[in-house]
């Protein structure tokens, strides 16, 4: 049986990682409100967002008459957690400076949730990777902010970009930090018969 995999994300990194795994897919980005709910833990938030993205994409495919029993929607969300608090994308340059200063010379967690949905079921899994940052000087932070890279990145950095130079150690899935855990994604798609 031929299954069609639909990636509910506009992230070029997630598309690249699926391509790297040899998984043919189409892209159906969705926009949802990513705000945290009252008293929501980072773990609960990242799982809820991935689930909601998958459900939203399924509903859109249904509305467009493009959904059938062979469709598998893959959604993902990534958050940075520091001391139990979620760090999303920075509001502005000063917020990015504050976040990078917090992460400097500290360990934080990168939480990536993946959710696969079909017309009959949905399964969501969260992968936690511990990342240790080097001590950053104010000049290093300023130079990084000037590149513009932190502006739309969770935790104000991109490990696959210039920000990767600040990472001293990773304990867990490196691909999850980029946005899509390769091993877990393949296993979840296999559970749905899509690979």
130-170 pLDDT, tens per residue? 999 999 999 999 999 999 999 988 899 999 899 999 999 99
Q: Which of 77, 95, 139, 146 is catalytic?
A: 77
Map out the domains of the chain as residue ranges: 4-191
pTM of the full structure? 0.91
What is the band of 110 on the pLDDT scale with cuts at 50, 70, 90?
Answer: very high
Let me know the angle formed at the C-alpha of 15 by 34 and 36, rounded to the nearest 5 degrees: 10
Active-site residue flag, 77: yes
The CATH code for residues 4-191 is: 3.90.950.10
The answer to whether the CB of 122 falls within 8 A of the CB of 114 is no
């Amino acid at each position: 049986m031929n299954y069609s995999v639909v990636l509910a994300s506009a992230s070029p990194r997630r598309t690249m990682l699926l391509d790297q795994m040899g998984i043919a897919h189409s892209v159906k980005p969705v926009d949802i409100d990513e705000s945290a709910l009252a008293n929501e833990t980072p773990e609960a938030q990242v799982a809820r967002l991935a689930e909601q993205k998958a459900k939203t994409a399924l509903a859109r495919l249904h509305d467009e008459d493009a959904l059938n029993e062979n469709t598998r929607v893959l959604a993902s969300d990534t958050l940075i957690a520091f001391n139990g608090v979620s760090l999303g994308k920075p509001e502005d340059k000063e917020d990015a400076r504050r976040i990078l200063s917090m992460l400097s010379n500290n360990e934080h967690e990168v939480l990536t949730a993946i959710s696969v949905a079909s017309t009959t079921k949905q399964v969501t899994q969260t992968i936690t990777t511990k990342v240790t940052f080097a001590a950053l000087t104010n000049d290093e932070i300023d130079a990084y902010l000037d590149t513009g890279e932190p502006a739309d990145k969770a935790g104000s950095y991109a490990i696959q970009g210039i920000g990767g130079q600040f990472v001293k150690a990773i304990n867990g899935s490196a691909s999850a930090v980029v946005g899509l855990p390769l091993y877990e994604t393949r296993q979840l798609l296999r559970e749905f018969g899509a690979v």
